[in-house]
């Protein structure tokens, strides 16, 4: 076979081999592809977090009964639960949810996670435990920032400017106490 037909057949074989290799590298399950895309988004968020500086502390990949929380941040303005959503398409926030195509993430999911972390901190710090702010980080988000029903939706490149714009609420000793309480509570959050 020569000419165009041969090149087309070779290109198709290469594409099939590439897809098969990707599926095998993900453990042989196509469902792992969704996890892989999500992990890529979490890495992008982690790179943004690195820009915050030494007065911030982050616990990454905290397991819980329904999966994991991507990042929990302790910094001068408070405690933040960051959930990265990395799907295909443009996202829009409103009506207490994040939507992208057919995918909808109700705000209550994010608030419930923040509440669970606050409860774990409260066991250690009592009434000194602050509210944990739920923040949803998204790649393709034309709104850039949207806040509704105690959930902040933010495009990835807007995360650091948002956090730096917030007023300081906790001094270094208070942040240290929050960090220790969070580290102690980590096992309990499962």
pLDDT of residue 40: 54
Burial class (CB in 10 A: 0-12, 13-18, 19+), 10: exposed
Rounded CA-CA distance 159/180 in Å is 24
Q: Which has more confidence, 24 or 66?
A: 66
Q: What whole-number percentage of the chain has pLDDT above 90?
A: 59
Nearest to 92 by CA among 146, 13, 49: 146
| pLDDT per residue as tens digits for the range 108-159 | 999 999 999 999 999 999 998 999 999 999 878 899 999 999 999 999 999 9
Nearest to 94 by CA among 171, 149, 174: 149
CA distance 19 to 25: 10
Q: Model's pTM, two decimal places?
A: 0.79
pLDDT in tens, 107-116: 999 999 999 9
- State the CB neighbour count (10 A cutoff) for residue 170: 19
């Amino acid at each position: 076979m020569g000419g165009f037909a041969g090149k087309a057949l070779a290109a198709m074989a290469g594409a099939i081999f590439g897809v098969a290799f990707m599926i095998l590298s993900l453990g042989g399950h196509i469902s792992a592809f969704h996890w892989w895309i999500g992990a890529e988004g979490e890495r992008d968020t982690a790179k943004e977090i690195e820009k915050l500086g030494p007065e911030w502390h982050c616990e990454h990949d905290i397991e819980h009964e329904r999966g994991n929380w991507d990042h929990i941040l302790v910094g001068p303005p408070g405690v933040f639960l960051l959930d990265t959503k990395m799907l295909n398409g443009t996202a829009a926030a409103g009506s207490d949810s994040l939507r992208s195509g057919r995918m909808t993430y109700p705000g209550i999911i994010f608030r419930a996670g923040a509440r669970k972390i606050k409860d774990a901190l409260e066991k250690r710090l009592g009434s000194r435990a602050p509210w944990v702010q739920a923040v949803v980080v998204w790649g393709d988000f034309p709104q850039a920032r949207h806040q509704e029903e105690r959930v902040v939706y933010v495009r990835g490149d807007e995360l650091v400017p948002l956090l730096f714009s917030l007023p300081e609420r906790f001094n270094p000793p208070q942040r240290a106490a929050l960090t220790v309480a969070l580290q102690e509570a980590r096992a309990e959050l499962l």
